[in-house]
Each structure stands twice: as C-alpha cells, then as structure tokens.
Amino acid sequence: MNTGSSADKLRSKRSDAAVRVAAQLFLSNGIDSVKMTDIADLSGVGVATLYRYFGTKTGITIAAMTYLWNDLRSMFSGVFESEVFLKQKGLKQAGDLMKMFVVLYEAHPRFMKLLSEFDLMVVSENVPKEMLRDYDRSIINFYGIFEAAYLTGLSDGSIREIPDLHLFYVTFAHALMQMSMKLINGELLPSDDFSLAKNELELLIEAAVCYLRK
C-alpha cells in the first residue's frame, strides 16, 4: 500500500479546494475582508492545515490569484488559434488581441478590481519575487500570438515594420491594464467622469492600431 501517494493526493485535493474557495471569497469580498477561518469554514479544511499548506494568508492569496489567471486562460484558449481568427489580416488580428482588455473590463470587473488590491498587497507586504514565480507564469501573455499577428501583417501588407515590437506590446498592454483597473475602481475626483469608460479603452486600442497600420 502506497501511503505516501495517498497522503499526497489528499493534500492536493484539500489544497485545491481551499484555493478555489479562497478565490471566490476574494472575488466577492476583497482580500482584506477575508480571514483564514472563512476559507477554512467553506472549504472544510482546518485552519491549522491551511497554515501548514500555505504558510500564511499571503501564500494562499498568491495561489488563489494564480488559479484565477489560469481559469481565465482556459476561457480564452482556442479563440486566437481558431481558423476564423487566423484568416484575418494581421492588423485585424492585432486589434482583436488588444480588445481582450475590453472583454476583461466588461465581463470580469471583479477580477480586475481584485488585481489592483493584490498589487497593493504585494507592495505593502514586500512579497519576495520568488513567491510570485508561479503567479507570474499564470498571467495571460499574448505576446507570442501578437508577434505572429505582426508577422502576418508584414506579409499581407496591413502592418508597417516597427523598430521594437516587444516594447510596443508591453507599453500598450500595461496602459490598457492600468486604465482598466482605474476605471473599475470608480470615480474619485470631482473632475472624474467614467461614463464613457469603454470608449476610452477602445480609443487607446485604436491609437495602437493606427500606429501599426501601414
């Protein structure tokens, strides 16, 4: 009888259940409002066991955020490898890729808000980069697909050659992500008016497409 294997499977099952529950609690209530006892009560995993598996609340928070990114990745998988997408001009492919941020903003606002809270937690707690390696790998990175769209656009004549494609990609990806999080966090200043929030995102995407267009 392989007791070691059975124990590992039980630990994995309990750990996965706790991470899924934590992710849903964080989405509903935010990170600060959720206690380890809340996760324990809903997941059926004891508090002491949670601390043994994850070390701290920060540990299970990182695991939960990694889980949420992987869940989103599975939702998007296949879309940008589909025949319909690949038959388009390279410029249209690039524009559709960037519209993913509009989809995140409209369909997953709680997740985007949670990302902002998570970033603040990482900074305030000075979380070591070593703890964020799995999280970093889970973040949706469409650069490879974007590069393929760029090369398609060069070939079909819809995209002009630009000096540093990676710089272009990260610049607009960061800008779209930060704009989305700001818009979701809501109006703060008297001069803020987010009634055309989606239009702001679409205008930034159009600026990127215009820069690429040959």
- Tell me the per-residue pLDDT of 67-104, one tens digit each, with 9 for 90 and over: 999 988 887 878 888 899 999 999 999 999 999 889 98
Quote the mean pLDDT of the chain: 92
Per-residue model confidence (pLDDT) at position 2: 56
Verdict on whether the full-model pTM lies above 0.75? yes
Per-residue model confidence (pLDDT) at position 10: 76
One DSSP character per residue, 84-97 reads HHHTS-HHHHHHHH
Per-residue model confidence (pLDDT) at position 48: 95
Q: Using CA atoms, how far apart are residues 197 and 158, in angstroms rounded to an integer?
A: 29
Q: Using CA atoms, how far apart are residues 83 and 81, in angstroms rounded to an integer?
A: 7
> If 0-12 CB within 10 Å is exposed, 13-18 middle and 19+ buried, where does residue 163 land?
exposed
Residue 166 has pLDDT above 80, yes or no: yes
